[in-house]
């Protein structure tokens, strides 16, 4: 039996094997095979071992290199137009994220730009961003809308996400975040906007999105509004996610456990009670240290949450306020700023991130039968992944069994 691809002599193969999202000490277990090999056929992994004797169409010698699952970036705001580099100076002068938003900047500035461009332009921007993600090892990405904030432009952005998924090697998972901010047109009647989402948008997007998310925050969407949107979304088959307790405690983690979200994200200000309830229900806590870095705010208390048994995942939160496309940098931030260990951060960026987007049975680890989404890194051991900061250590990326990045370059 011939393999399509054989990778051999890897210094370490990190299988990150697990049937469910990892918690506590399990996060430390990377299932390492020293001097390992892996073979793929029909876009799936079909052998993993120390030595594999098999003929293959393509063989890669991974001596002195680490082989691991592709990164899963489980929280991004991929689709928008423009950029907000102008806000850095304003942040340095001491303006907070919510002050910038309330003065009509932040999300509102990006909404203005995103509404003005057509699908084609957004697709071109998205393809470029996905290229950069793939070059740094991301093989699956979750992508949220949220810069349209009206039926027409939210649907436009969802269509863009679906088109990106079809056209790019990276798998793109669509999340509807129509409740990202109260549109300025509805500033004095936010409940009317909530109604618009439920009555007008949900029926139109049911086949375009897999998840529904809400930015539940002081002066944005209240707990009651978030509950209503996420509960109604479920009726349209949209699995709930939530931006919870990012800037102020609002009870977001508690709500996530009450309504059974698949993940609750950010969690900087969550209560112990809320986190413990999430842990009991196995809800993934998506931690986004890139956001803390770029807003110059505190970091989520990852050590405490891991102690409580919360299955933690990591994502970039790529958005115009946090222009980070590289999961390697997020892993470094998780270690240096949230005191996660390298192994914990790797588990959180692969298998747990896959569970955060309901893909844990398909991707996130190197196991027989799973998709052959594989990275070959220019480092001899996994501890070097967060250690070598700010450079791209990804040498080769295999997506669905095919080499899509070789020698740091995209193969098109
Ligand atoms: O996850 N907090 C809300 N949404 C994004 C930021 C979006 C933006 O500032 O454009 C976040 O950080
Ligand atoms: Fe976000």
Q: Which ligand is nearest to the CA of 180?
A: 1
Tell me how far apart the alpha carbons of residues 292 and 235 are, in angstroms, rounded to a whole number: 34
Fold observed for domain 72-356? TIM Barrel (3.20.20)
Question: pLDDT for 279-329, tens place per residue?
Answer: 999 999 999 999 999 999 999 999 999 999 999 999 999 999 999 999 999
CA distance 180 to 243: 9
Nearest-atom number in ligand 1 for the CA of 215 is: 3
For residue 243, which of 77, 85, 68 has the smallest C-alpha distance?
A: 77
Give the pocket of ligand 1 (CB within 6 Å): 77, 106-107, 110, 215, 243, 246, 291, 317, 319-321
Tell me the best of 180, 245, 263 to mutate to test the pocket of ligand 1, counting ligand atoms within 8 Å of each CB and taking the most.
180
What is the reported pLDDT for 411? 87
CA proximity to 359, closest of 139, 134, 133, 129: 139
Residue 170 has a pLDDT of: 98
pLDDT of residue 408: 87
- Ligand 1 center–CA 401 separation, angstroms: 34
pLDDT score of 1: 73
The ligand minimizing its distance to the Cα of 114 is 1
Q: Which atom of ligand 1 is nearest to the CA of 246?
A: 2
Question: What does the alpha-carbon distance between residue 189 and residue 187 come to, in Å, rounded to a whole number?
Answer: 6
**pLDDT tens digits, 68-97:** 999 999 999 999 999 999 999 999 999 999
Ligand 1 geometric centre to CA of 107 (Å): 7
pLDDT of res. 59: 97
Nearest to 295 by CA among 150, 98, 75, 25: 98
Q: Which ligand is nearest to the CA of 76?
A: 2
For residue 101, which atom of ligand 1 is closest to its CA?
Answer: 9
> Which tokens hold the place of 322?
């946090």
Cα–Cα distance measured from residue 108 to residue 87, given in angstroms and rounded to the nearest whole number: 13
- pLDDT, mean over the chain: 97
pTM: 0.98
pLDDT at 412 (0 to 100): 73
Rounded to the nearest whole angstrom, what is the distance from the C-alpha of residue 24 to the centroid of ligand 1?
28
**So where are the chain's domains?**
3-69+365-410, 72-356
CA distances to 114, 189, 224 from 184, in Å: 15, 10, 20
- Which residue numbers in the chain have pLDDT < 50? none
Which chain residues have CB less than 5 Å from ligand 2, an ion?
Answer: 317
Buried b (16+ CB within 10 A) or exposed e, 91-104: beeebebbebbeee
* 267 Cβ neighbours under 8 A, 6+ residues apart: 244, 245, 246, 252, 253, 275, 285, 286, 287, 300, 305
Question: What's residue 124's pLDDT?
Answer: 98
Superfamily of domain 3-69+365-410 in the CATH hierarchy? Urease, subunit C, domain 1 (2.30.40.10)
The ligand 1 atom at the shortest distance from the C-alpha of residue 295 is 12
Report how far ligand 1's centroid is from the alpha carbon of 161 (Å): 18
């Amino acid at each position: 039996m011939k393999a399509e691809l054989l990778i051999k002599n890897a210094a370490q193969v990190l299988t990150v094997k697990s049937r469910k999202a990892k918690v506590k000490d399990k996060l430390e277990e990377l299932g390492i095979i020293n001097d390992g090999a892996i073979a793929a056929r029909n876009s799936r992994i079909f052998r993993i071992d120390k030595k594999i004797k098999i003929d293959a169409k393509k063989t890669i010698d991974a001596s002195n290199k680490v082989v691991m699952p592709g990164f899963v970036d489980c929280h991004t705001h991929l689709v928008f137009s423009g950029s907000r580099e102008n806000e850095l100076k304003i942040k340095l002068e001491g303006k907070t994220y919510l002050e910038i938003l309330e003065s009509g900047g932040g999300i509102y500035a990006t909404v203005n730009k995103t509404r003005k461009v057509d699908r084609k332009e957004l697709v071109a921007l998205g393809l470029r961003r996905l290229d950069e993600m793939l070059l740094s090892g991301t093989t699956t990405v979750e992508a949220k809308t949220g810069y349209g904030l009206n039926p027409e432009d939210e649907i436009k952005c969802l269509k863009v996400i679906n088109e990106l998924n079809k056209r790019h090697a990276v798998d793109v998972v669509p999340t509807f975040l129509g409740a990202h901010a109260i549109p300025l047109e509805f500033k004095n009647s936010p409940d009317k906007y909530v109604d618009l989402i439920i009555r007008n948008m949900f029926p139109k997007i049911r086949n375009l999105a897999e998840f529904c998310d809400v930015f539940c925050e002081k002066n944005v969407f209240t707990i009651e509004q978030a509950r209503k949107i996420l509960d109604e979304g479920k009726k349209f088959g949209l699995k709930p996610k939530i931006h919870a307790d990012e800037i102020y405690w609002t009870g977001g983690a508690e709500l996530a456990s009450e309504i059974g979200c698949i993940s609750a994200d950010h969690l900087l200000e969550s209560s112990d009670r809320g986190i413990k309830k999430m842990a009991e229900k196995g809800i993934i806590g998506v931690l986004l240290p890139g956001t803390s870095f770029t807003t110059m705010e505190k970091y989520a208390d990852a050590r405490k949450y891991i102690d409580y048994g919360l299955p933690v995942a990591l994502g970039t939160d790529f958005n115009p306020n946090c222009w980070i496309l590289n999961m390697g940098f997020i892993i470094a931030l998780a270690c240096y700023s949230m005191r996660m260990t390298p192994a914990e951060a790797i588990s959180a960026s692969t298998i747990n991130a896959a569970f955060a987007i309901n893909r844990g049975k398909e991707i996130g680890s190197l196991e027989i039968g799973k998709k052959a989404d594989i990275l070959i890194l220019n480092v001899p051991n996994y501890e070097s992944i967060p250690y070598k900061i700010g450079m791209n250590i990804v040498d080769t990326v295999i997506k669905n069994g095919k080499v899509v990045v070789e020698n740091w370059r995209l193969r098109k």
